[in-house]
Every structure is written in structure tokens, then in C-alpha cells.
Amino acid sequence: QLQLQQSGPGLVKPSETLSLTCTVSGASTSPQYWGWIRQPPGAGLEWIGSIFHTGGTVYYNPSLKSRVTLSVDTSKSQFSLRLSSVTATDTAVYYCARHGVSGYFLLPPDFWGQGILVTVSS
């Protein structure tokens, strides 16, 4: 059974870089993507981006693209999110997720990490 375990700091200072990691266990070797989605307190869901499970192909939300870097470390079964120059508006619960792919289409997420609340504050 696939499990996604998230880790990273819960507090980041303004203008610094938010870094989160998701450790994967029980994953298949089938083509799939690892994604990141966030949810500000009391608000809805916002997709951040997705990366192919072996690295390489990456898709970003255009509104965040200039500040986001996604990466995969297959040797550690981990994938990571870095979000630079954070402000208070980046305060949110950040989720990692798995989603499949079917031809051109990135399928919706079917497994989610537990989520981490990251607060941006000095």
C-alpha cells in the first residue's frame, strides 16, 4: 500500500525559502507523477505543481512557477518542494500526492500525504 510521509519545518520567515519533502513507500514502478497541493487556512485547494516519478518532466501552476522548484531523489524514495521568497500569503497546509497519467492527461490525485501546516511569520 502506497504511503506518503511529509516532513519539513512548520515555520518559515518572510522572504526565505520553504522546503518540504515527501517520503514514499510502497510505490509501484508504473509511470506516475508526484504532486504538491496547498490549502490556506479556511480556504480551498490550489495545485502547485507535479513532477514525473523519475524526474524530468515537471508541470507548474503558472501563478507560482517563478518561485517553485520540484525535484525527485529516487535513491531516497523522496520528492521535494521548494518555494522561494515566501510571504504571509504562502501560509497554508501543504499536501504531497500521487497521481497517475493517461496519455496527455495528468489524472487526479489518488493518494495524499498527511499535510503539513507551514506558517510564514517573523
List the grid coordinates of 122: 517573523
d(CA 99, CA 32): 6
Backbone dihedral angles phi then psi of residue 104, each to the nearest 5 degrees:
-75, -25
- Does position 94 interact with other proteins (CB under 8 A)? The reply is no
Build a one-symbol-per-residue string for 53-82: x at contacts with other proteins by CB under 8 A, - elsewhere: ------x-xx--------------------
- Does position 110 interact with other proteins (CB under 8 A)? The reply is yes
Build a one-symbol-per-residue string for 1-40: x at contacts with other proteins by CB under 8 A, - elsewhere: ----------------------------------------
- Does position 107 interact with other proteins (CB under 8 A)? The reply is yes
Q: Per-residue b/e over 35-47, b at no fewer than 16 CB within 10 Å?
A: bbbbeeeeeeeeb
